[in-house]
Amino acid sequence: MKFTTIAAAFALAQSVFGLRTVTLKTFAYPPPQYPEITGQFVSAQHEGAGINYLFVVPQEGAAKFVYDEDEKSLYLDPEVVGNAPYKFYFNVADGEPGFLMTGGTDKPLEVNIDNLGFVTFEGSYGVKAVKNVNDPYHYSDSSYALAKYDGAGPDGAIPVFFQAIDA
């Protein structure tokens, strides 16, 4: 009984403060052509000191994010990162490609989630799923990394967009 009361109070507090816990569902363009991307989810994999690159994974491997509607920011659910003393904000790394990542920053990327859950941010129309991008731990040898390209990207790059699903 006490647990359900606590859970209900937490859910109410999140809605009052404009926070939503979500997972990010992936869609390739055009969707039917890429079943390995469409309907999958986003995971955050450790790639360095305080940095996690984002990859396409099945639903059971999806990372939970918190969307702050007031700040227009997205960050990893604190439980995912062991309740670290700072937030792992969603961001796009500098350079080409601009890996989608989470990490500590004093300038989080502005993220918008519309009423259907579709996610946009500066550069979101250039996001591609790519393999073999020479990431530090070589996750992209077997999983699609998510990165922003200013142009078409390398051969085999698949355009991707995201939908936030309540977790």
The DSSP line for the chain is: -HHHHHHHHHHHHHHHTTEEEEEEEEEESSGGG-TTTTTEEEEEEEEETTEEEEEEE-GGGPPPEEEETTTTEEEE-GGGGTS-SS--EEEE-SSSSEEEEEE--SSPPPEEE-TT-EEEETTGGGEEEES----TT-GGGTS-EEEE-SSS-STT-EEEEEEEEE-
What pLDDT was estimated at residue 80? Answer: 82
CA torsion through residues 35, 148, 46, 19, sign:
negative
Altogether, the residues listed in the chain come to a count of 167
Contact 68, 18 (CB under 8 A): yes
Cis omega (within 30 of 0) on the bond before 97?
A: yes
Beta carbons of 76 and 65 less than 8 angstroms apart: yes
Judge: domain 19-166, CATH 1.10.357. Answer: no
* Cα 42 from chain centre: 5
Q: In whole angstroms, what separates CA 167 from the centre of its chain?
A: 13
In this predicted structure, what is the pLDDT of residue 2? 54
Would you state the pLDDT for residue 7? 47
What's residue 75's pLDDT?
A: 97
pLDDT along the chain (167 residues), means of 10: 50 63 96 93 90 96 97 94 88 93 92 97 97 93 96 94 96
Among 130, 121, 123, 81, smallest CA distance to 102 is for: 81
Q: What is the pTM of this model?
A: 0.87
State residue 17's pLDDT score.
65
